[in-house]
Structure 1
Amino acid sequence: MRKSLLTTGIAAVAVLALAGCSSSAPDETADETTEWPSSITLSLVPSVEGEDLAQALDPLTTYLSENLDIEVKGVVASDYAATVEALGTDQAQVIITDAGSLYNATERYDAELILRDVRFGATSYASVAYTNNPDKYCEDEPVMSTYAASGIELSYCNGIEEAAADATGSGPAGIEALGEISDGTKVALQAATSPAGYQYPVVAMREQGVDTDAGITQVPVEGNNNAVLAVYNGDAEVSFAYWDARTTVTEEAPDIAEKVVAFAYTEMIPNGGVAVTSTLPDDLVAELTELLDGYADSSEEAASVMFDLVGLSDWTSETAPDEITRYGEILAEFSN
């Protein structure tokens, strides 16, 4: 018999799942008999590497296997796109992946989005427009708000944050200020595959009438910290990075709040999440979802394993599929 979730602490960072033969007893109350597979496989791209991987996966697979009473296995994908292909070819029935891959899995293979990633209490984040020229981009004096995750005070203008309060990082906000980017302005942008460092900023600038191809001088940078430093060092007048990347450079640039002001937020960029193949029985999906949703709260060890394995603090069943759909639309603009 499968163990009841009511009698089992929820501790399962979904790192597993394989499809196999049927073995679990059917649900006698259902209109149709739906048997569980004897095993399922989960595909993911872990944060850990090499010899640490097996050790990291074991407590997760063991937990899920014991509580679902079926074999749960974990498969490491080479990249996020590989998780989608694993699901599409039935090599995996559960995937933990990024937002773009979630969109592709649902569109191409009718996968079901069951959970969204939570990082420090948020399921999505904005790209931030930074500048060293607040006179040009700010309609008001910059104010100081606290980035609660690290307790650091940082500067914001255009009403995107309240003075002497905890910053929220919610967008879109102050987006009209991007229209002040004039011809020839040096704008630091990350790789074209970066949502926060390129894709969402480019879409936002275009919507404000900025010619992102010929109207600005693009300054290529690698990484969110370097995007911030490009403005700090005067190599660019504007840059974009995730909220709030200034916290990554406070040691080398202790006066970052003075010299680099956040003046706009783009639309919210969704975190990734968990999706399952449409072939899994509904009751299995429901139990798996509940296990994963409660995993991070089940113990300090589980929370540590989850963060070390996939860099998350939690999952939530509030999936906000509209954000994933919007992300897919923006990805399509850069598919060529």
Structure 2
Amino acid sequence: MAASTRLVAIAGLLALLVCTSNGQLSPSFYAKSCPNVEQIVLSGMADAIKKEPRMGASIIRLFFHDCFVQGCDASILLDNAPGLASEKDAVSNKNSARGFEVIDAIKAQVEKACRATVSCADILALSARDSVSLLGGSNWTVLLGRRDSTTANQTEANNLPSPFENLTSLVSKFAAKGLTAQELTVLSGAHTVGFSVCFAFRTRVWGPEPNINISFAMARRQNCPASGGDTNLAPLTTPNTNRFGNQYFKNLMVGRALLHSDQELFKGGAGPTDGMVRRYGKDGGAFARDFAAAMVRMGNIGLKTGNQGEVRLDCRKVN
């Protein structure tokens, strides 16, 4: 069996085990009602990434930020409306969360095939999985059957893990969602692709900041001045290959993390997650397997199923 096939099989088994344990989601949820949904989503994501390779990372981030607020219920996709303050305007999302139009386009195609059947939450979960796979990362079986929320929580979105936090705070926030320090570490590996705005890493490259490679800091300063240029972009992992692998962890071990919160995962041998970073930096296969399993776990946070919530016809507004 080829290595890539083994990864899919292992991830699929993990997904089925989780499904059995929670008894709520199923990989075959749309087998009869919308059998082509996964192909529609994959095609939409392939087109989006072909047009802009950065979009894959943006969709992965969108899924993270959705699941950490009210659970994986597509609340992040809702626009402002009377009585509803959009999570898009939260500090962690405003001017940085993106990809909404990609999900809109995929949803439109899904609605043409199967009206009022597939939730925006499931479309986002599938899109995140396909983004990883299309960028060269692992694949896994996505459990389906989520329902969309009819509310948003901007206050909770303002408390999403930030690029300025220390390890203790990050571990605490992940634990509050039922995720371990190991899952924090491996899920942070999504930063192997994508970009960050200057505002999020200015204090790291201008200092004073421990555990940073000086030449790396000097290079990043070129596009992130001490003041101004807040929206200037830099790759989260260098070299920027737009390929999903374990380079992120290799960078952490030599002080080349762009974000303070990322470098907190590796403190030169003294940190509780240092061993995990070393493992993933040396073993890309272990990273791929564990990342797939952690994405399945994260995708089960705060589920709305059955009669809870709704299946939105438009991901930007409640029915």
Which protein has the bigger strand share? 1
TM over 0.5: no
Which protein has the bigger helix share? 2
What TM-score comes out, normalization by structure 2 length? Answer: 0.28
What TM-score comes out, normalization by structure 1 length? Answer: 0.27
Larger Rg computed on CA atoms: 1
